[in-house]
Each structure stands twice: as C-alpha cells, then as structure tokens.
Structure 1
Amino acid sequence: MRVGILDLLGPPARRPVELGYQLLITKQYASITPQAISVWCRRMGHETFYATYYGLGRPHRLVPADLDVVFISCYTQVSHLAYALAKLYRKAGVRTVIGGPHAKAFPADCLRFFDLVVRECDEALVADILAGQFDPGAVISSEKPFDDVPAVEERMPEIRASAFFRGRTPTPLTAVPMLASMGCPYRCDFCIDWSSTYRPLSIERLEADLRYLATHLPGRLVVFHDPNFAVKFDQVFEALEAQPPGERPPYIIESSLTVLRGDRPRRLKDTNCAMVAPGVESWTDYSNKAGVGRAGGMAKVERVAAHFAQLADNVPYLQANFMFGLDTDEGDAPVELTKRFMDLAPFAFPTINIPVPFGGTPLHDELAADGRILPTMPFSFYYAPYVVTTIKNYDPVTYYDKLIELYGHAASPEMLRRRLRTAPSRVVRWVHRARTAGFRADLGSFRRIRTLLRSDPGFLAFHEGRTTALPEFYRHLGDRMLGDYSELLSAADRTPDLSSIRL
C-alpha cells in the first residue's frame, strides 16, 4: 500500500517574522508517534511517505495525492488545517486517519472529517488499520500508548526529513526527538496526561540511542518528549552518565521541581543538560509539583525562586511555566506574585499560559458542566492570546488588563537587561532577545483584543457568554490562519462539536 504520514506542527506563516521562526524553530518540533507509524508501515513492507508541515508551503503537496491511506497528526490549534486536508484526501479516495493530541481531546469533532480517529496507538493497531479491520466512522484505540519506541537509527529517514536541511544536511538547530518514559504521576486537571500511568521505557534502548547519536550525530540537540522527565531519576541518569563525558549530547527536558531536588541539578550539568522547563503553574495550587509542601503566596515564590537559582548554576537555560486565569486566581495577588518571581529569577524565562479546556480533562468537564466554555469559538483559537472560556474571578476586560501587566513586566527593557546580565552565553542572550520580542508582539495582540472588548458590545457579550454569535474578528482571522484552504471549511465546519466520546 501507499501510506502517507503528515505531522502538522504549525499554522501557515502569515507575517515575515513568522517565516524565520517556523523555519528555524517550529521545524524542530516533530512528534515521535508519527515517526513511529512511518517506521512500522515501512517494516510491514508498505511504500511510506512521511513529512512534517511547519507553516511554509502547501501541506497537501508534501505527500502524494494518490495514497491508499493518510495518517495526519496535529494539535488543536491546527486542527482546521487537518480538516481541510482531510476533505482533499477524501475527495481523492484516500482513507483518512487522524491521531495526536487533538484527536485524543476532541474525537467527536474529528469524526466529521476523518474516516478513523485514533486516541492511542501501537504497531498492532496500525497494522489493523491498514488491513481494513475498522469501518469508517470509528474512534479506536490500543489498550495503552506504545511502549516500544523505534530506535533513533531506525527513525533516521524521518529525522532527516523533519530536521535536516532539504532532508540531507543537519543544521546547528537540528533536534532529535526521544522518549525515556511515558505518562506522568501527577494529576493536573488541565493536562491531557492527567490520567496516564507513568512508565519508564527501555533503558537499554536509551543507551543504544545515545551511543548511536555520539557516532552519527555528535553534538546534536536531543529533545526529550517525556511529559515529566526522569521521575525514576537515578535509573535514567545512570544511562546518561554511562556515556563518556565528551560524547554526551546537549538535551532539553520538561520536569517537575520535585524531581530536580538535592544534588540532582549538578547531575544535569554533568550530563550536558541545555534547558529545563519546570511547571510552577500557580502560587495557590499544584504545589505538589513544586516541592514546597503546603506553602503558598510569597513563601512559595521565594522557595521556588531559590530552587530556580540552584538550577541556574547548573543549566544554561531555564523556562518557568505558569497559568493565569485558574479558578483559584483572584484580584491582584497572582500578577504581583508572578512579577516578584520574575524579579527574583530573571534568568528563568516565564511562559504565561491561558487555561484551555482540552477535552477529556477534568478542567474541560468542570467548565462544560458550568456552561463556561464558549461553544462557538473555533478550535483555531484554543491557544494564547485567545480566551475560550469565561474566567471565574475576572471580567474579560480586567483579565486582559492583567495579562498585559504580566507580559509588559516580562518584556520590559529593564527585565531584558537583567536577563542579559545573567545569561551564561551568547546563544542564551540571543534566545532571550528573540523571546522578549515575541512577548512584545503578544502584547500587541492582547491590546487589540482589549480594545475590541471595550469598544464592541457584541464582542464583549460573546466573551461574557451572553451570546454565541461568533464575532467577525474571529471569522476573518480564521480565514487568514487557513490561508489558501479557507474555502474548504464552512462556518458550520468551524463550529466545534464538544460532545464527549467514551471508549
């Protein structure tokens, strides 16, 4: 069979500044599961076509039109692009299959456009799909996510296609995606991994992959896609430390502060960790991930900042992940505490996320039961700077006022100067400048939305949940996001089906 695998990493680039970012950065976000599917199909003897789309060109031209089956993976922000492509492939007689975060979160909506929706998959399930074991209109899943990730050596055709220049030459930014574990032991109500079971993967496979990289791709960045890296810390780090010091690749991880305690930051340094992105989330909640016990408020700020300072002595680049707009957020305190953290830890670049109710999470179920999800907001806007729910303790204008205050502090000239003074290298200084510029662009988006909330009664009514009439602002912007594919999706196609499907 002729099988296509298309990994959608980002929407079409619309501005010159986006072109460079998507070419240099988004291109490196390739997911592991689509690469695994490509390997499995090749093992089965099928003619396999794998490609990633990172916002440049026309994605339907990346794989042939005369396929038997096409697998498309995407996250929710780019789901409308996936839907448009599904229409094109179905018209050509291709069987269409969708997987990835969006399919897991909103399978009912995906069924409107795809023949099959996959929640979790493994090699056996892919073989059954290709053998025609499932009728169109089915939501299917393996019993658990796959545990046997194909080795880096076996994934090299996919890594070349996704991360090399013209598929032939690695670049200084070439990144290799890897997994050391699946699942997460924490139960954060907003996370699609909230109900997953933490499972370490084969240490022997990890060691073999590291040896292969040392020989064939020395010095290339490894990005671990683990939801929570090295919960079994000693087991994982013994494998990293087994590599000779001069052959340890730089690597990026997301992990909890509770994992990175004691002398473990030093082991990060010894194994060439380039970046850590712990989730702080909130100053009043999720403290079990931060390792501060019952501490909250300023006490939590000071303890977390001190922990980040210890990490900064051992890791070149740090990112601190926050959420603002949770039901526990109220008044000025969340903003003031986050600003205080920025002042205490300028070396940690903050990301400030707006809560998004992804399907299948307790957050989604709670907000849906309370009628607080904006029912006609297209999935294209399920990411910052857009709000797709009503915020419990802030009216829309006040909420955007607070976001502008947070981003304004993070992107201020003084904060940038402090970051640059603490940066350990020229590369980190360049990243700080680039990300600060991105924050300033986000500020412009926040201010445009706030202006509309203040000046357009219909726009305000929509965000207060008093009307379901989608504002023209979002209709027009949705067309721009889809670019040449906008005519393939009607207004009804873009109105989400938020109903749940339980397997």
Structure 2
Amino acid sequence: MRSLKIGVIDLVCKNPSNSLWAKIMHANLASIMPQVVATWCEQEGHTVTMICYTGSEDLVKELPKNVDLIFISSFTQAALLAYAISNYFRSRGVMTVLGGPHARCYPDDAIQYFDYVLGFTDRRIITELLNNCTPQRPAGKKMCAGKQPASLCGVQERWKFIEPTLKKAPFIKIVPILGSVGCPYTCPFCIDSTVTYQALDFKTITSDLQFLLTKYKRPYIAWHDPNFGIRFDESMQAIASAAPPKSFRFIAESSLSILTEPHLNKLKENGFNALLPGVESWYELGNKSRSAHITGTEKVKQISEHINKVFRYVPYVQTNFVLGLDSDSGAEPFELTKRFLDYSPNAFPGFSLLTAFGEAAPLNLEYQKAGRILPFPFHFLNNHLAMNVKPKNYDWVDFYDKVIDLTEYAFSPKAIYRRFMHTQGFTPKWMNVMRAISSEGWGRLKFYRQVRQNLVQDRSFRKYFEGESQQLPEFYKNIIKKDLGVWWQWLPDTALSHNAYAYLQKAS
C-alpha cells in the first residue's frame, strides 16, 4: 500500500460569517469523527492535513494542497458547500469521500458527487477504503459498517487535530468528548432513534480528562453523546477518578428523566455547568421527561418545576422544543410554551421546526408515504430556515404567524432582560444575551417574517410550499448563491434539487 496524502475537512458552517457569535463559538462546534478519521489515517501510515471551517477562514487558501484523497464531514445544511468542494477537487483528479450526518441521511444523492459515501464508519471501513481507493465515477460507492464503532480514538490520540481548531476560539475553548453512541429512547423524528445505545470505554474517558488537565486549568468539555448519563454512576465514577471535584466544566445534552435530584447533586459536584434537556412536545414524547401520562397545562407545570430544580444545581439550561409536530394544533401548544417561559424565565429556549432529514428517522418514511415532504435545498435544512414537512394541522401562514409570535415572545427585550436577571454567573448571562440578539434569536425572527411576507404576496412562493410547484423560488436561490460566494461556480448544476422521496422509493 502506497502512502497517501490525505486532507480532512470538517464543515462546521456552510458560508462565511463575521458575526461575533461565529468568531467566538464556531470553533467550539467541531465534530469528533473527522478528528477520529484523521487519526486513523495517520495510524495507517498516511500523511494527513486537517482543517475545520468555522466561517472565519478564507476557505480557498485553507484547503489542503497536493492531496490524493479528501474526506469531507458535513451536516445537511453544509451539503451544497461540500458538493462544490468535492467537484473542485475531482476536477483536479483528487478522490473525494463524504461522511457525517448528511452522508447517513441522503446517501443516494451524495454518491452523485463523491467517490465514496460513508454511513456508520469504523476503522475497518477506513482501512478498506485506503487500501483499495480508486475513482468511482459517474456514481460513487456507499460504504457502511452496519453499526456505530465500539471504540474511537480518545482526546489524547486526536489532540493533534483538536488543538489547531481550539486556537481559533478567542475566549471560551470547548473540547469535544464522547462517552457513548446511540440512544435508548425512540423519538421517531431523531437520527439516533434506531441506533443501539452503547457506552464507550470509561477508562479512556478518565485518561482523556486527566490529559486535558495538562492543557487547561478547569477545561470546558462538551459531551457529544446523544443522551448523556444513561449509565450514570459509571460516567460519574469515570469523571471522579480523573481529578478532584469541579476540576472540569462540562456541557451535556441529557433527558429530564435522568436529571433526578440525586443525579443533579452529582452533576453539580462534578462540575456540570450547562445542560440541554429535550422537552420537544407538550402532548407526546413524555418518556424522556417522566411525564408519559400527562399533557398540556399539567405537563407545562411539571416540566417547569423540574427545570427550576435543575437551576438550583446547574447555572445554564437550554430547553429544546420541536414546533409543528402532528400532535400540535391551534394556538395552544404555542401558548403553553409561552407559559413555560413565564414559569422558568432563566431557561434558554431552543426552537426547531419539524424537519425530515432523508433516511435519518423512521417517521420520515411516514411523511413521505403521506406526500408531505417538500424538496427544499439542503442549504436550508438546519431545523429553522425551512420546515420541509407540510404541517398536518396548520395553514402555512397561520403556522408562521404562531412561530413568529412565539419567537417574538421568547426574544423580546423584556424576555432577554428577565432571563439576564434570573441567570447566575457572567458567562451564562453573556451566552443568553448573545444568542438572543444573534442569528439564533433576532436573526431567525427577521427571516421568519420575510418568509411569511413571501407566502402572502408571492403566489409562486406559496405554490412551492404547498407542493404544487417544484420550481425553487428565487428568494432561496439568491441566498444560496450569496452564501456560497466563489464556490457557487463549482456547485454541480443538479445539486440545487434532490429526490425528496428517495427513502420511500428505496423502501418500496
């Protein structure tokens, strides 16, 4: 086997961004698997150059030079940029590989633009690819391990690829770590709902935490587990074995069912500073929040009491909601969310529009069977720029009216001030304000208002939303062209559209 020159590109974002939020936080959003793949490739004897694109760099200048093979990791929102980069490299005789969430969600679309498209990836898959890589054209080759790997490179092994990215973060530097893969819950809209839960090696976790103490004093660490703390006692023991209490500052996404008071006490003792529990709906998915038998107002009060209890132990909490679920109808779900914000004013609300990402989840197949999927370009599939599922119980204008009203309520100056006053600590206060006035709060509100206006004033725009037309509105095409900039010229002609019903046709 000859030694290859390999490039690895982690696309944290899809376009240049000079916002303060991007400059401070995007480098902290790096993915773990690109670092793992880069490490595996080096261990196989190849030369690796890795970059993490955060939106602040000149991507043309940053791209690896004189390579034989390029790995690109991308979420669906950055897929068009990934397609353009692949086309650029393939035009120069370089083989390209796509991995990450988009490769899992839309493999049949991606093989048109890459030599290899990777689903679940373990070291065996990488070794096989490196030993036998040849151009795969016109259609690429799909490769998949069948399940998530049982072990991954730890922080110490991949530090060479972590450190350069963290240097781009001017203030807060957050190290990504993974304690488990998969999830025992079966939320039908989630990409992890069909992935078997498995914990990774706890001894490696302890060793990695000890290693990080040689790099930073009280390092910030983000657990990338889909649901942290399933094997709670063992996870806490791994942390406690690494160093004295509160040697670290942790961020984790966890379900409310795990966040019992004894567990919260342990989390506080071990330095957990931020938690991101999913509420999702006031009418379903109660198994994640110990509210399986209650709905509506009763659930709002119970969840609010629980969140307020969490704040007695952890200074920062983001509560996640999905808007537009089939169980929602009328104004009530939106009004209930407002009441929750009143009852728990220090919680930062994370709102997602219901989005079906290709083959990601079982529920997507049902939406396709019902003919409810819209072919929005990948560029807008990030849970807030476009809802590609026609709502079951709302007219589009009515739905956007309610989304706008809720977003205005959550990020009004009054709500921002109230959240600021109820939050303890400088960093949590700063995070809440910055997120509210950035693209996540006020920025989304501006975009939603524009979409709503277009729905009312532009008949062709409305027909696209109703599924009566496949013609992409110029409004969306212009955004893509502006965001891609110099990469627009490299975007394949067919990439703006995709088969939104490929999952159904494959399953038939």
| Structure 2 length-normalised TM | 0.94
Question: Which residue in 2 is equivalent to 1:295?
Answer: 294
Letter in 2 for 1:481: D
Q: For structure 2, which runs of at least 5 residues remain unmatched after alignment?
A: none
1:8-407 superposed matches below 5 A: 8-13=11-16, 16=18, 18=19, 20-132=20-132, 136=136, 137-165=140-168, 171-245=170-244, 248-360=247-359, 361-375=361-375, 377-383=376-382, 384-407=384-407
Displacement of 1:75 = 0.2
The 10-residue stretch of structure 1 (125-134 or 443-452) with the greater mean CA deviation from structure 2:
125-134
Cα distance in 2 for residues equivalent to 1:493 and 1:419? 42
Displacement of 1:58 = 3.5
Displacement of 1:211 = 1.1
Q: Secondary structure at the match of 1:436?
A: helix
Cα distance in 2 for residues equivalent to 1:261 and 1:294? 18
CA contact (8 A) 1:73 1:99 kept: yes
- Cα distance, 1:135–1:67 mapped onto 2, change above 3 Å: closer
Cα distance in 2 for residues equivalent to 1:64 and 1:206? 31
Cα distance in 1 for residues equivalent to 2:179 and 2:195? 15
Q: Secondary structure at the match of 2:434?
A: helix
- Cα distance, 1:275–1:190 mapped onto 2, change above 3 Å: same
Q: Secondary structure at the match of 1:117?
A: strand
CA contact (8 A) 1:214 1:247 kept: no
Cα distance in 1 for residues equivalent to 2:289 and 2:258? 9
Cα distance in 1 for residues equivalent to 2:64 and 2:336? 52
Letter in 2 for 1:104: R
Give per-residue Cα distances to partners, 1:359-412, cap 9 Å, x unaligned: 22122211111111113x211011213222211111111111001111011012
Q: For structure 1, which runs of at least 5 residues remain unmatched after alignment?
A: none
Residue 495 (structure 1) aligned to one of 477, 490, 497: 497
Q: Secondary structure at the match of 2:336?
A: helix
Question: Which residue in 2 is equivalent to 1:449?
Answer: 451
CA contact (8 A) 1:125 1:142 kept: yes
Displacement of 1:490 = 4.8
Displacement of 1:57 = 3.0
Question: Which residue in 1 is equivalent to 2:488?
Answer: 486
Letter in 2 for 1:229: F
Cα distance in 1 for residues equivalent to 2:366 and 2:87? 33
Residue 474 (structure 2) aligned to one of 472, 475, 478: 472
Q: Secondary structure at the match of 2:251?
A: strand
CA contact (8 A) 1:219 1:250 kept: yes
CA contact (8 A) 2:87 2:492 kept: no
Residue 460 (structure 1) aligned to one of 459, 462, 479: 462
Letter in 2 for 1:9: V
Cα distance in 1 for residues equivalent to 2:68 and 2:302? 56
For this pair of structures, how many residues does the alignment match? 494
Cα distance in 1 for residues equivalent to 2:485 and 2:264? 45
CA contact (8 A) 1:13 1:22 kept: no
Cα distance in 1 for residues equivalent to 2:400 and 2:493? 27
Displacement of 1:491 = 4.8
Cα distance in 2 for residues equivalent to 1:441 and 1:108? 33
CA contact (8 A) 2:50 2:64 kept: no
Q: Percent of aligned pairs with the same residue?
A: 34
Question: Over aligned residue pairs, what C-alpha RMSD do you find?
Answer: 1.5
Q: Secondary structure at the match of 1:353?
A: strand
Displacement of 1:61 = 3.3
Cα distance in 1 for residues equivalent to 2:265 and 2:482? 47
Displacement of 1:171 = 4.7
CA contact (8 A) 2:83 2:492 kept: no
Cα distance in 1 for residues equivalent to 2:242 and 2:118? 37
Cα distance in 2 for residues equivalent to 1:205 and 1:57? 33
Give per-residue Cα distances to partners, 1:254-282, cap 9 Å, x unaligned: 01001111311111111110100001000
Cα distance in 2 for residues equivalent to 1:492 and 1:98? 18
CA contact (8 A) 2:390 2:466 kept: yes
CA contact (8 A) 1:188 1:286 kept: yes
Cα distance in 1 for residues equivalent to 2:42 and 2:14? 28
- Cα distance, 1:189–1:364 mapped onto 2, change above 3 Å: same
Letter in 1 for 2:333: P
CA contact (8 A) 2:5 2:69 kept: yes
| Structure 1 length-normalised TM | 0.95
- Cα distance, 1:247–1:297 mapped onto 2, change above 3 Å: closer
Cα distance in 2 for residues equivalent to 1:441 and 1:107? 31
Cα distance in 2 for residues equivalent to 1:491 and 1:67? 25
CA contact (8 A) 1:120 1:143 kept: yes
Displacement of 1:413 = 2.0
CA contact (8 A) 2:120 2:146 kept: yes
